Amino acid sequence: MRFGVIVFPGSNCDRDVVYVTQDILKQPTRKVWHQETDLADIDVVVVPGGFSYGDYLRCGAIARFSPIMRSVLDHAQAGKPVLGICNGFQILTEVGLLPGALVRNRDLHFICDRVPLRVEAQGRFWTSAYGGQTQIKLPIAHGEGRYHADADTLAQLEDQGRVLFRYCSPSGAVDESGNPNGSLNNIAGICNEAGNVLGMMPHPERAADAQLGSTDGLGLFEGLLQGQLAAV
């Protein structure tokens, strides 16, 4: 399976993703400069974390107009997987592939931490490799990661089982004490209606190598591989 990792001016988690898909998972991977327009050779698009265009105006607002985003839209509309991590999640909401927006954290702090998450919506291929395991821990690093959407959108996300990751307390309770940034419904990651586009604020690529202290994030990429192989 070929991975394409989009690189904007200001992306800084691109190489971390490439390390996971190419060096750990042994999948062919190429970095795709944002001014390219051809994704025909790519199976999975990853929009990585960072500060595209310095986060000027709003996170992701300018990146969405990069030439490659037209191709990312086509890729997503063809039903192929698109994963947006952190700034990538912000870009996917700005471009309209995912609903809602990511706004300033509740307590104004930039948060760099490792937080417990509930893995929800077990029927999705993204989370299938977790095999019913409901709690994992992933790093977060963001100043504007509070998920916001109007009441109708939130209800739709919940009714359709599109919330894939939720912040929780160490005991697994989904409540305010386990909500680091004030996200509505403790939302940390959501997918689109078809299920092939996932956006999440936590960084699975930073928890995929045991030498970094955790491999809780590797399951996400493994689920992606298994899901794709099953679909072929």
Of 32, 31, 15, nearest to 23 by C-alpha is: 15
Which alpha helices (H) appear in the chain, and where do they start and end?
14-18, 68-77, 87-94, 151-159, 218-231
Nearer to other proteins, 24 or 101 (CB): 101
Nearer to other proteins, 80 or 142 (CB): 142
Strands (E), the chain: 3-7, 29-33, 44-47, 82-85, 101-103, 111-119, 135-142, 146-148, 163-167, 187-191, 197-200
Distance CA 127, CA 122 (A): 6
Distance CA 25, CA 2 (A): 11
> How far apart are CB 150 and other proteins at their closest, in Å?
7
Nearer to other proteins, 101 or 141 (CB): 101
Query: Which tokens hold the place of 31?
Result: 């970095």
Sheet holding 29-33, edge to edge: 29-33, 3-7, 44-47, 82-85, 197-200, 187-191, 163-167, 111-119, 135-142
Catalytic residue numbers read: 86, 203, 205
> How far apart are CB 210 and other proteins at their closest, in Å?
37
Nearer to other proteins, 24 or 103 (CB): 103
> How far apart are CB 103 and other proteins at their closest, in Å?
6
> How far apart are CB 118 and other proteins at their closest, in Å?
23
> How far apart are CB 183 and other proteins at their closest, in Å?
11
What sign for the dihedral angle of Cα 154, 155, 161, 166? positive
- For binding to other proteins (CB under 8 A), which residues are involved? 57-58, 61-62, 65, 93-94, 99-101, 103-108, 146, 148-150, 182
Q: Give whole-number Cα distances, 45 to 48, 56, 66, 101, 198, in Å.
A: 9, 24, 15, 21, 11
Nearer to other proteins, 11 or 105 (CB): 105
